[in-house]
Homo-oligomer: A and B are copies of this chain.
Amino acid sequence: MPGLTKRLLLGRPVRSDRLGHTLLPKWLALPIFASDALSSVAYATQEILRVLAVGGLALLYLTPWVALAVVVLLAVVVVSYQQVVHAYPDGGGSYEVATRNLGPVAGLVAAGALMVDYTLTVAVSVASGIDNVISAAPSLNPYRVPIAMVTVLVLASVNLRGVKESGKAFALPTYAFIIGIVGVVGVGALRFMTGHPPVAESANFAIAPHSGGLAGLALVFVALRAFSSGCTALTGIEAVSNGVPAFRRPASRNASITLGLIGLIAIVMFGGITLLAIGARVHYADNTCDLVGFAGNCAATPQRTVIAQLAAAVFGAGSIPFYFIQAATALILVLAANTAFNGFPQLGALLAQRRYLPRQLHTRGDRLAFSNGILALALAAAGLLLAYKASVDALIHLYVLGVFTAFTLSQLGMVRHWQRTLTNERDPLARRRTRRSQTINAVGGALTAVVLVIVLITKFAEGAYLVVIAVPVFVLLMSAIRRHYDRVGQELQPQRTDMILPARVHALVLVGRLHRPAVRALTYARATRPDTITAITVNIDDEDTRRLQQDWSQWQISVPLTLIDSPYREITRPVLHHIRDLRTAAPRDIVAVYIPEYVVGRWWEQLLHNQSALRLKLRLLFEPGVMVISVPWQLASADIRSERLGRAGREQAARSPLRRGVVLEADRHPADV
């Protein structure tokens, strides 16, 4: 990326020693880590209603029971994860816990599940956010996919700027969303009490049932599938445990409190929305065309989201609170995607550090963010949104499987963890506390394992099978990468014999014609005083070779010139054969190949010059006992580029104090002191 564009998008580079200063206070951590968990309120209720609609209006009586099951599960998982946060203040979440307690394979499975999960968080949240925008502005419906792409792009660039600034940008919308939803639920409840109950616009629609009169196993299956869809409300709880090191000290305590708060708010909001939806008789069909009484073209006009219908019913469609709630909902959903942009690159960096992923993922960018991880996530999510046309219905089926895999592995790992703690613990009070934690995690693990099986069965054919394929593929890939790094590491272990100096150095200077780069290569080669020195030229064109020989004697070059024949007009192979002959004659010697190059400043100038030198250089690297020496000659135009780079350096040096000032100013926030 050219310098200026990069700076405009990302801001100025940040010094490594500023890393500690970007830790989060609770009031900033809550919006960052809560957005995912809270935003699922925007679609969890809707997904339950949608699944139950296969039976027409007949099965809607199940809604409160399904929602209750989700709430109970949510509470259990939050309490379970509070144990995790306390036990692992270094963070690492499910991957860390599974690896330490259940072994590396379990850890990799958890990591693979989390990576899938993060990607889907971005895709589902962005898609649902756009649904809520379209509920307020239906004319945007045809631009669903382009809007999704732009959103992902913006998220990626915000995150490339670094974690702290994104935290601040996201605080306001999260709190606005909480206020908005609590407002809808509160005012809605008030209207019930005062005898003016809100009525949803879909209250009088009937739904054409897909399968009438469900009973027995089929009924249980539909109820369980509704429950699976409702479990999307649990996504995002994991994020806090992954991000403990980003919290202010004491990190565990602050993270645990934040997690508890998030759980509480999520339960209140999800419960409230669901009860209000039942009361206002929101009807939401799997397929818009199943709605009996729907106005407009059901193939082109989308249903309004449940949130939009409730806001309209309580405050009136087109009122200021309605637009406020839609805006806050859309924003928090987009910001939920941001949780993944925090978690995914950190997990990637951890895996890269342990050599399970390419080490580029462990490189912090100019702004201290793990740039490559952010880019990888953005690409994957954009790909999913394109493939599934930014449809929440389609994406949601892939979603919860990864989440519950990670949950289950994490909780089972915790049970093991506490068991190990017990063997070393003698203090009865501490033992009792540990026992309690173990019980909580055992219950949590058992519950999430059951839910995992339910999700697998009820969602398998609708898309979850893709996750069942993707996770093992990730695990195998990561194992292969680790094996590669291990093998290379072993191969590169130095040995005493490596220190033995080679006997002699033979310098070969490759010349085509006698221009300044060639002359410079000859003088530089002579300056290194090798044991032997020869200039070699490959005879491709007899006339050129004759001219070279004439120049050679005219300029009285003292280095002998050797001709190499090349009947097939190649350069690389004849040179290679010549070097091999030299090496065979004296295997303990090394060959130094000097290649004159002239460098140009503009990319198009590169096209006008043959690339044979480059190809030869690359090939020579595969030859043992050879070193390849580029002797560059800078053409006038090369100064352009050199100066541009030099100027950038000077500017950066001049800017340093200013930058430090800016960062300090950002730090001067009361909560930061």
Contact = CB atoms under 8 A, between A and B. Distances in A.
Contacts of A636: 487, 491
Interface residues of A, number: 83
A17 B569 CA distance: 10
B514 A526 contact: no
B631 A627 contact: yes
A299 interface: no
B632 A645 contact: no
Contact of A515 (B494, B517, B555, B645): B494
A532 interface: no
Contacts of A665: none
Interface in A606-637: 607-610, 617, 619-624, 626-636
Interface stretch (A160-168, A390-398, A500-508): A500-508
Nearest to A489: B515
Contacts of A492: 515-517, 598, 633
A16 interface: yes
Interface in A555-607: 555, 567-569, 573, 576-577, 590, 592, 594, 597-599, 605, 607
Chain B CB within 10 Å, residue with most, of A514, A530, A540, A621: A621
B494 A514 contact: yes
Interface string A360-379: 10011010000000000000
Contacts of A138: none
Contacts of A649: 573, 576-577
A276 B569 CA distance: 54
Given A569-B16, A622-B645, A642-B622, A527 B505 contact: yes
A358 B608 contact: yes
B567 A16 contact: yes
Contacts of A573: 649
A179 interface: no
Specify how many copies of this chain sit in the oligomer: 2
A597 B622 CA distance: 11
Contacts of A516: 491-495, 498
Interface in A12-45: 13, 15-17
Given A523-B498, A523-B499, A527-B502, A621 B605 contact: no
Contacts of A607: 358
A5 interface: no
A485 interface: yes
Nearest to A608: B358
Contact of A624 (B359, B608, B609, B634): B634
A592 B622 contact: no
Interface of A: 13, 15-17, 358-360, 363-364, 366, 481, 484-485, 487-488, 491-495, 498-502, 505, 514-520, 523-524, 526-530, 540, 555, 567-569, 573, 576-577, 590, 592, 594, 597-599, 605, 607-610, 617, 619-624, 626-636, 638, 641-642, 645, 649, 652
